[in-house]
Structure 1
């Protein structure tokens, strides 16, 4: 079912000058605008639109010789729609695949079926996907089946365990086998791809577009009345902000973490906790059992993304098992305690802005106590350069796409 609308973000390290187009090549592409190559940008979840929106905006605003078309799969619906408004993205197609209790196989099959007629009619020069969702895997596989270039944003993340996170770790490995161009956020991601045999000339270290989105939000939004009230209630306190929702955390591990956090808050009268409770019943029940009624503990419904970023900005320490928050917190100069046994973002660990909590009883409590007792610890964190980029990722990716796709299409049509 189509929903047509045609309306509407230098890292330290090595960036090859070959990605800069000279004036002559730009002019060559510009001469072929009457037959502009099409780019199909596919997304279906909240993290995808957050990280693809800056690229979509950059391509539309500064690269007019490319026609950008967007496809929303509907893998998530209510979670995605507020971001379309926030980032001013209007999907050209909405596959509307969302069903209750859908399995990854069902999602993949419906996205593949929904993309088929779009690919056949529009014949894009490239498909852009982001990350490791089932929508991204289906988009990459569709591009491969149509012998169309696939550009993978945030390529090369690896946890080392095919089953953790599940199914994301295997999804991103498979996408790497299907992709033509690999936009790696860090040099470590590039190294992972090289170890797997991806040609070096197909990998581009660009930074992570989440930093671009954070800059956009902080420049264009203000805290809502709800967030202002939360900050008023916790004023003068060391604020812990907690999220936890991954299936690997369900059960004993999550409950132990919540007990550790509650004990830490109760020991220190100058510490407060705000827990944005995910609606999953496993999370809701654990929160009620372990934290309900705790002093200086606020259990709240999930916030909108811009509000959540405003809350993170005021935090003392962030606690989360989310992959995205491992990027967002350091990008705001905040330490994050990762409530997992491994991470696909070791750059944050290596930089000293993220810390693995593991799953041993009492370990998270010990980490929190050390952070509380160490004088000047937070100020040291703030001085560490962001390992995920400088907010110019979208312009780098758009420029590479311009070079690789636009001029390639011009050569083919000669």
Structure 2
């Protein structure tokens, strides 16, 4: 057809009839399928940035079914999660990680205050994050115990005076230490012989793994170096520049002797380190131990005599979250404390901030093993539906109360945070 010449077929009766027929079919199709498609398109989408610890597919599917929202999970290694959240709050709606990330996120303006009045189960949250102690005789632990950074003060700082605004939702938490292959390393006695110092013992040279996170791995190694009397600190939760210089001088020397086999970035990678026998001892989180036990690997999660490294999960609102997405975010936060999620993560060895609500979703045997520190009445299954606890086993470290009464230091972002980052990356690249 030449330019400017009108096609005779464009307005022909037969063509108009065909178009009308197609339009009628299309309209019928639209009417027939409108409801589900429109509903799906109108569901609020909530983007959650976090780690593999809580961003699991089973949890995503259950939350979407219960809440009627779309959930997009973006799991990354802990250091990568913090870096992204700090520089790009528009890339996520909710942030899930650990309390050591709160100070950097709050300082960067990446997160906004959470309205305590919109948290349905706030009154059920136990004393660990509200006062710092799970029991009257419990150790507070050095560093940023979560209660110190939970409440937003009138001047915008983070502090201990209770207000209606908080920096994070307290939910999942645990104590961490290290795991070891007890076919290679003889089982120690919890709180008596098991020691952070084992990570730096020359007997395991070349078979040691450490988490690659400057606010977590740093404390694992500081606890280990202090246990071995290689360095001493006045306050392990507030290391000075001199402390860091002394510590990393020792660590870099050990690295050059090939003491460390590798530095893992995620829970699955830590599982691979142990499963492939690349390491016999390493920094470890509870789900990794459960997974390995489910695979038949004889890995013990230590209860160090020096005390645990404690952490508390934080769920934070991006400073860019608003409107319907914010409403969905509060729904999701409340869902996490509604019972079922807490029971689910108990089966991978984690605790929830209001445990009594989750008790009815656990069998008495599960509750007794995971929370009370009693022998397993029968084999127990992990979240992967594999046996992770054998009948008769007792959880290393004992009950919830005993474990959280023995925290040596909390994951923390210290006053020397920027300098510690510099020293950490110098160590990793040495």
**Scaled by the length of structure 1, what TM-score is found?**
0.33
Task: Give the helix-richer structure, 1 or 2.
Answer: 1
Q: Which has the higher contact order (CA 8 A, sep 6+)?
A: 2
